[in-house]
Each structure stands twice: as structure tokens, then as C-alpha cells.
Amino acid sequence: MKFSAGLWIFGSSADRFVASGYRKPTSTDERIRLASKVKDLQGVDIHYPSDFKEKDVGRLKDLLKACKLRVGTVCVDLFSDARWMNGALTSPDEAVRSEAVKIAKTSIKLAKDLGTDQVAMWLGQDGYDYTFQVDYGVSWDRLVEAVKECGRYDPSVKIGLEYKIKEPRTHIFISTVGKALLLVNEVGLKNVGVIIDVGHALMAFENPAESVVLLAKHNKLFHLHLNDNYGDWDHDMIVGTVHLWELVEMLFWLQEVGYDGWYGLDIYPYREDPVQACNQSIENIKLAAKFIERVGADRLRQLIRKADIARTIGTLRKEMSRHL
């Protein structure tokens, strides 16, 4: 497994109640140095333009090399500035839409400069809050055309669209695995796919394993964001602390579909030490993978085919209790 972590994990972790954050603010360089302390971490995910500017690329490459890290994904920040409040790629203002596409294209160029072929786009402001607020058809068409323009800019770079059902908008246009798949299939470009964020899938009442398989069937599973929550909000908790069995099943199906991309950590440790939160997330993932290995992929396939859930539970429990 290749493990990466979003640099936001190592920031101040602000929320709307403590807007200044629960820790002291850190620079991008400081976040990279903190990330280098995480055991087994090989890559980082970094936002443009909020984490770095074009002039910073050379210095960042030197720092990443010194820290024995590389960039996994460049994430296009089209959500953290007030100018996107009415949408970025679907804004009613043509100038705003053009600026959003320009930033996305620059992110694609900088991704190659930083040695990665992956760009992530989470369009959290592209949606609506009230009835009668947007023209749904026009908004969808704008979304398709803008993503298509970004995808055609450099076909050698993969663009992963990350879906989420709500927050900051009450309704986000790319909200579920089905709508994400509909969008990328309508865009129709090989280099445009989907990112599964486990917490976002859970919020949408999806089983992450099923979502993995659906995307893989269309060759559209581009990247993973791993975290956990209680299904009602995007808590971004330490991986495997709530939905451990769902994590095990998802890892099994990732293996079955031949996923060989990054296992990206997207947690938000408000009150936890970020390095330790990442370490525990990775250890939980490795434990789940080891459990699959102990049970055996062939054995799991047979159990699934027989669809005898009582027998399956008994088998898993027996393997789990071996060292108790």
C-alpha cells in the first residue's frame, strides 16, 4: 500500500466554534515536516493555490525530497475563498467560472511539475441551499462542460472528482457515487474519474465497498480518502474507529478490483496529535489488511458466493478470536 496524507491534517484544525483553530497555525513547510514524522507515509496531498503558489514549486520539491516524501495529489482549492460562495464551475457569474477553470488548469500543470499525474477536485461550493435557488439543468450543463474543458487540457493527468452529499452547501451537485459516475460518464474522458472519500460515502448511506466496485467496473476509481464518521456528518475521524468491518470489506474489494493507487488519509484531528492520528489510521488499515490475509481471499470469495451470512460471521469471528 502507498500511504499519503492531506497537509490539512497538520494545520490548526479550525471549526466554526473555534475559528482560530485548536492548534497553532502552521506553514506549508511546517506541515510537510510534520508529515515526514508519520511512519510508513510516502506522499502528501497539497492544495493549490491555498497551500502554495507557482513560484514555490522548486523549493517544495527540494523540501519534499529532503523529507523523503512525494506529492500524491494536487487538490484544486475551489471552495475556501468567498468568491466561490455561489459556486465555482457552476457560478452564475461567467467571470467566476472562467477563473475557476483557469485555477484548475494551473493545478494540472503544477501537478506535473511536482511529479504527479493526479489532480483532485472537490466542488463543495457548487450546489444550493434553498428551493428555487438554481436552475438544475443549466448548472449541470455548466459542470459537465467545465470538467470536460479541464480534462482536455492535459489528457496525461488524471482528474478525480470527489463527491459529498452536503456541507458547506445543504445540497452539493456531485453528491453520491451514482451522480459522480453519471457526471464522469457524461464528460466521457478517460482521464476524468472519481475519488471515494469513505466518510462522504457513509454520509450518503453508501457501503464504501459497493461504491468501490461500481466505480471499478467503469475504470473510474482514481483515488481514495480514508477516514471515519458516524454516518450523520463529516467528522473525519481516525480510520477504522467506527466502521471497522466496513473498512475490512472495502480493503478486500479494493484488492479484488486490482486497485493500486494511493491510500490517502483525510482526517481532521481537532483534539488529537496529528502525527499520532495518522499513525493510528495507518496501523488500523494494515491490521484490517492483515486480517483479510489471515482469512484468505479465496475463502472470502467462497463465503460471499454462498451468501450464508451466519456462516460468514462465524468464520470471521473464529479468525478474529484466534489470539484472544
56-83: average pLDDT: 98
Number of H helices, E strands in the chain: 11, 10
Report the percent of the chain where pLDDT is more than 90: 99
- Report whether pLDDT(85) > 80: yes
pLDDT in tens, 88-132: 999 999 999 999 999 999 999 999 999 999 999 999 999 999 999
DSSP run (H or E) holding 159? strand 158-162
Cell, residue 139: 448548472
pLDDT in tens, 242-277: 999 999 999 999 999 999 999 999 999 999 999 999
59-87: average pLDDT: 98
pLDDT in tens, 311-323: 999 999 999 998 7
| Beta-sheet pairing, 118-122 with 70-76 | parallel
pLDDT averaged over every residue in the chain: 97
Cell, residue 108: 494540472
What pLDDT score does 322 carry? 86
> What SS3 class is residue 317?
helix
Least Cα distance to 147 among 175, 167, 128, 123 occurs for: 123
- Report whether pLDDT(163) > 80: yes
124-141: average pLDDT: 98
34: left (phi over 0), alpha (psi -120 to 50) or beta: alpha
CB 234 within 8 A of CB 195: no
Q: Could you give the domains of the chain?
A: 2-288 (3.20.20.150)
| Secondary structure string (H, E, C) spanning 28-88 | HHHHHHHHCCCCCEEEEEEEECCCCCHHHHHHHHHHHHHCCCEEEEEEECCCCCHHHCCCC
Q: Which residues pair with 128 in a beta bridge?
A: 171
pLDDT in tens, 12-41: 999 999 999 999 999 999 999 999 999 999
